[in-house]
Copies of this chain bind each other. A is one copy, B any other.
Amino acid sequence: MDYYVFMREAIKEAEKAAGLGDVPVGAVAVYEGQIIGRGHNGKERKNDPISHAETEALRKAAQYLKTWRLKGVALFVTMEPCPMCAGAILQGRVDTLVFGAWDSRWGACGSTLNLLAPGLYNHKTEVIGGIMEKECAALTENFFRTRRQEPL
């Protein structure tokens, strides 16, 4: 699987969120080499605390596969998932998680804690972090830098 091809698609999703005023995080869900779900953070725009890139992409993948059991699915996301999204990955029994930037504040896949650590729950998700890390980190860094420069 070409991690970079799919992470670039996740970055495109993140850019959509930024254009709509939300923190730019994007995700794609991949099954048998094809994208079956896309998502970007829509927390502000939708007034929805559940609307993160990962939950949006996983929900769409589940609709596509007509089951909540996302066996064979790899989730690509520009930032390390938060506890809610790491939990959603467990709930959906996702096989593989590939993420870009680490998140020292909310990251729950190795940074603040690791909800996907082998043996913690009765499901094993393979985790690969740091793919296109610089590009992915730049998304949120640029977003917050621009915000700080805006007049109050």
Give A residues with C-beta under 8 Å from B. Answer: 43-44, 47-52, 55, 58-59, 62-63, 65-70, 82-88, 90-93, 105-106, 108, 112-113, 115, 120-122
Contact = CB atoms under 8 A, between A and B. Distances in A.
A70 B88 contact: no
B91 A50 contact: yes
A29 to B, nearest CB: 11
Given A49-B91, A84-B84, A84-B90, 10 more contacts: A44-B68, A47-B63, A49-B92, A50-B58, A50-B88, A51-B68, A82-B87, A83-B108, A84-B86, A85-B87
Closest 8 CB pairs of A and B: A84-B87, A83-B87, A49-B92, A49-B68, A49-B91, A84-B88, A50-B55, A43-B68
A87 B51 CA distance: 12
A41 B3 CA distance: 34
Contact of A87 (B47, B86, B93): B86
